Structure 1
Amino acid sequence: MDFGIATAVTDEGIRPHVLAAALEEKGFDSLYLPEHSHIPVSRESPYPGGELPRGALRNLDPFVALAAAATVTSKLRLGTAVALMIQRDLFYTAKEIASLDLLSDGRVVFGVGAGWNIEEMRNHGVDPRTRGALLTEQLQALKAIWTQDEAEFHGKHVDFDPVYSWPKPVRKPHPPIYVAGQGPAGLKRLAEHADGWLPHAATPPEELRRVRSWLAGQGREDVRISVFGAPADPDLLRGLVEAGVDEVSLILPTLPEAETLESLDKLAKTIEPLRA
């Protein structure tokens, strides 16, 4: 099983290039960064994990931060968990990801979710009621842009005639797309349009096994399961190993450089016995 780090890189903590270099040096396999364009001051949407973390207010743009990480690493996978695709321009996002994939020699993992902050998505002109259907069409359209010289797409929410868009990603046929979501609609999107699943760390092992079996029944034995944001609990991690997940990203608090490097040393020691 692979081990990565999930964290919010902000203006108050360790810089992304320093973090990434340390992760690769200490043997971690991946780095996953979240995304919020902003957080509305007046809102009703509760944060799924309880109290809104400070990192959600101050996170750097994930693709800028991952580009910095790419310059000092050669093996570390560079991912989003999650990018809020429904709030993004389709064509700029396709180019950003393809550019990052080119500059990193094919190390991008594009993790996406439908989002939880209703007020944030409304500020982007997104109807929360149709965000799932929009995301599904966006993923289909991204694949067309990445793989076709003259790409076009005609759906209910995304519609465009043939376009040129370069660079194309290095990873073929395209960077792997991981999706979050554990309800029926999210799992349907996973089976039909994604390469990996991003369940949260509280997902019971029996549910992970059930979804793995269900995916196999859909002809999708190739889908990777990457559990996101797990605490450094040896018992929990052993359970995930036994459940057969492919990757776990450990949650890393946003801290200054020296404290972050100390935390990484502790995390590396925690996972060392599990790599055997």
Structure 2
Amino acid sequence: MDIGVVTFLTDYGIAPLDLARGVEERGFESLFLTEHTHIPASRRSPWPGGGDLPRRYAHTYDPFVALGAMAAVTERVVLGTAVSLVNQHHPINLAKEVASLDRIAGGRFEFGVGPGWNVEEMEHHGVVSGRRTAEMLERLEALRALWTQDEAGFDGEFVSFSPVWSYPKPTRVPPVLIGGGGPTVLDRVLSHGDGWIPLRVRASELGAFAERTAELQRRATDAGRGHIPVTLYGAAPKAAALASYADAGVDRVLFELTDSGDDAAATLRELDGLAELVRA
């Protein structure tokens, strides 16, 4: 099982390039970044974690800009989004951003995606929250067309453009990892994804989660597909938990780094501690 990290990379925290070097030097397999384009001040949408929205949500770097810089100072580590809010980008712009990043990274980019939870944030981008999942799936189809076709056009319900030339193309179609844990998420993974990113699984939920991962692989086999990788966001940093995740069918875990404020040294110390699990 691969071990990586995920973080809200902020303007007050560790410098992006220091983090990238630190992750690779310590032997982690991957580094994923979150995304919020902005946070509306209204705060109508409750934070799914409960309580007040943590400060880090409003201070994140653009993940594509940050990952492009990180790609330039690393050689091995997989770089990804967990997750990009696809509906909050025009697909023509997003296709170029992702393709450019993937080429700079030498094919090391993985595209974790999700529809989002903050209704006001979506509204500022013209997204109707009640249709956000359908819109995300259509936008993914448009992105694939732009990445794979010399003259790509698209005519859908949410996205429409006449044939265009869009370059560069990515080194490969980046693996699309579908985020979420709702009752229909496996349908989306199978129809539009190359992998699944479930969010945090409690010890008491591992039995049901293992059944879902087994269902995913059975359905993939029935559809004539190979193994679909499962990346768990927010894994518990304990050896026993890692063994349980592996038994449940997880292929990669992502440890979420603590928001250490402006104490970059604390982030590096946290990486040191987590690296012991990588070596084990």
* Normalised-by-shorter TM-score class: over 0.9
Deviations 1:143-191 (A, max 9, x none): 11101101122221122221110000012xx000001122244321111
Q: Does the aligned pair in 2 maintain the 1:5–1:252 contact within 8 Å?
A: yes
Task: Confirm or deny that 1:269 pairs with 2:276.
Answer: yes
* Alignment partner of 1:226 out of 231, 236, 245: 231
1:217 aligned partner: 219
RMSD of aligned alpha carbons:
1.4
1:72 aligned partner: 73
Q: Distance in 1 between matches of 2:252 and 2:72?
A: 24
* Secondary structure in structure 2 of the residue aligned to 1:253: coil
Q: Distance in 1 between matches of 2:208 and 2:16?
A: 34
Q: Distance in 2 between matches of 1:98 and 1:164?
A: 13
Q: Distance in 1 between matches of 2:6 and 2:74?
A: 17
Q: Does the aligned pair in 1 maintain the 2:32–2:79 contact within 8 Å?
A: yes
2:165 aligned partner: 164
Q: CA 1:46–1:214 in 2, change beyond 3 Å: closer, same or farther?
A: same
Deviation at 1:269, TM superposition (A): 1.2
Task: Confirm or deny that 1:199 pairs with 2:198.
Answer: yes
2:249 aligned partner: 244
Q: Distance in 1 between matches of 2:46 and 2:169?
A: 38
Once the two structures are overlaid, the 10-residue window that deviates more, 159-168 or 252-261, is 252-261
Q: Does the aligned pair in 1 maintain the 2:213–2:249 contact within 8 Å?
A: no
Task: Confirm or deny that 1:43 pairs with 2:48.
Answer: no
2:61 aligned partner: 60
Deviations 1:178-211 (A, max 9, x none): 0112224432111111001000122633333323
2:142 aligned partner: 141
Deviation at 1:225, TM superposition (A): 0.1
TM-score by structure 2 length? 0.92
Q: Does the aligned pair in 2 maintain the 1:200–1:228 contact within 8 Å?
A: yes
Q: Does the aligned pair in 2 maintain the 1:229–1:250 contact within 8 Å?
A: yes
Task: Confirm or deny that 1:235 pairs with 2:237.
Answer: no
Q: Does the aligned pair in 2 maintain the 1:181–1:187 contact within 8 Å?
A: no
Deviation at 1:214, TM superposition (A): 2.2
* Structure 1 letter corresponding to 2:245: L
1:83 aligned partner: 84
* Secondary structure in structure 1 of the residue aligned to 2:102: helix
Q: Does the aligned pair in 2 maintain the 1:121–1:127 contact within 8 Å?
A: yes
* Structure 2 letter corresponding to 1:56: Y
Once the two structures are overlaid, the 10-residue window that deviates more, 48-57 or 131-140, is 48-57
1:260 aligned partner: 267
Deviation at 1:254, TM superposition (A): 2.8
2:118 aligned partner: 117
* Secondary structure in structure 2 of the residue aligned to 1:230: coil
TM-score by structure 1 length? 0.94
Deviation at 1:95, TM superposition (A): 0.2
- Structure 2, unpaired ranges of 5+: none
* Secondary structure in structure 2 of the residue aligned to 1:156: coil
Q: How many residues align?
A: 271
* Structure 1 letter corresponding to 2:269: E
Q: Distance in 2 between matches of 1:75 and 1:230?
A: 22
- Structure 1, unpaired ranges of 5+: none
Q: Distance in 1 between matches of 2:227 and 2:98?
A: 22
Q: Does the aligned pair in 2 maintain the 1:87–1:121 contact within 8 Å?
A: yes
Q: Does the aligned pair in 2 maintain the 1:195–1:222 contact within 8 Å?
A: no
Deviations 1:66-110 (A, max 9, x none): 111101101111110111111111111100000000001001111
